[in-house]
Amino acid sequence: MRSRLPHPDERSAQTTYDLLVDVDGVLYPFPEEFTTYLSGRLGRELRLDTTSWEFYEAWGIDADSFVDLLAAGVGARALWWEGAPYPEVGRSVRRLREAGHRLHLVTAREVAGAEAAMEATLHWLSAHDLEVESVNLALDKPTVLGRLGLDPSGCIAVDDAPHLVEAWEGAGVHSVVLDRWRSYRGTHRAVPDLAAFADLVEERSRNSRA
């Protein structure tokens, strides 16, 4: 009996995922870039407190002023336009895509205006050769599942904001906290960077094939 050549679909029988990836704090060093931007603007040195989510409050800036400063920085083509990705990001994105996973960026950047946010994000991705399947602006991140027609069980999300990881989990998406500063004290699975997230995706993909 002749052995049969594998059908192309069988060769790629490993599980691939739709990866829902946050941008600020995951790909883009936003707290670091914002600190540098504001230091320059105020003409004084600012220390970034990496243990606080509202790191700007220590500088006497409230949430409304933060959004105003952010919008000004984006408008000046500084924030979100300038600044390199975290060092492991380029190779991790390529590795995930080469393994057949699909990357969907999901970001709340529309707080600074949807059009400006999208323009900056697309420019920055292109400037750093970061290819993804889609870029999505959403304050309520799980709404992107419906927008893209994704099955939550085929997705994995990564975000540095624990409350957004909770939101993804509530929508049935396996989710991971990106805890770059090792300040997360909750019970969700956490990874220190995108390379470790890629390891986790690979491990999950392998286990699901068994």
Residues forming beta bridges with residue 158, ordered by sequence position? 21, 176
Of 22-30, 45-53, 85-93, 197-205, which segment contacts Mg ion by CB under 5 A? 22-30
Calpha distance 135→137 (Å, rounded): 7
Instruction: Record the tokens describing residue 89, joined without a space.
Output: 């990001």
Of residues 186, 143, 201, the one with CA closest to residue 168 = 143
**Binding status of residue 33 toward Mg ion by CB under 5 A:** no
**Binding status of residue 24 toward Mg ion by CB under 5 A:** yes
Which positions from 132 to 161 touch Mg ion by CB under 5 A, shown as an x/- string? ----------------------------x-
The residue assigned the tokens 């400063």 is 69
Instruction: Record the tokens describing residue 197, joined without a space.
Output: 């997230």
**Binding status of residue 179 toward Mg ion by CB under 5 A:** no
User: End-to-end distance of the chain based on CA atoms, in angstroms?
Assistant: 28
Instruction: Rank residues 178 and 201 by Cβ distance to Mg ion and give the closer one.
Output: 178
Instruction: Rank residues 17 and 30 by Cβ distance to Mg ion and give the closer one.
Output: 30
19, 21, 25, 34: which one contacts Mg ion (CB under 5 A)? 25
Calpha distance 185→190 (Å, rounded): 10
Q: Tell me how many residues contact Mg ion (CB under 5 A).
A: 4
Instruction: Rank residues 33 and 160 by Cβ distance to Mg ion and give the closer one.
Output: 160
Contact residues: Mg ion, CB under 5 A: 22, 24-25, 160
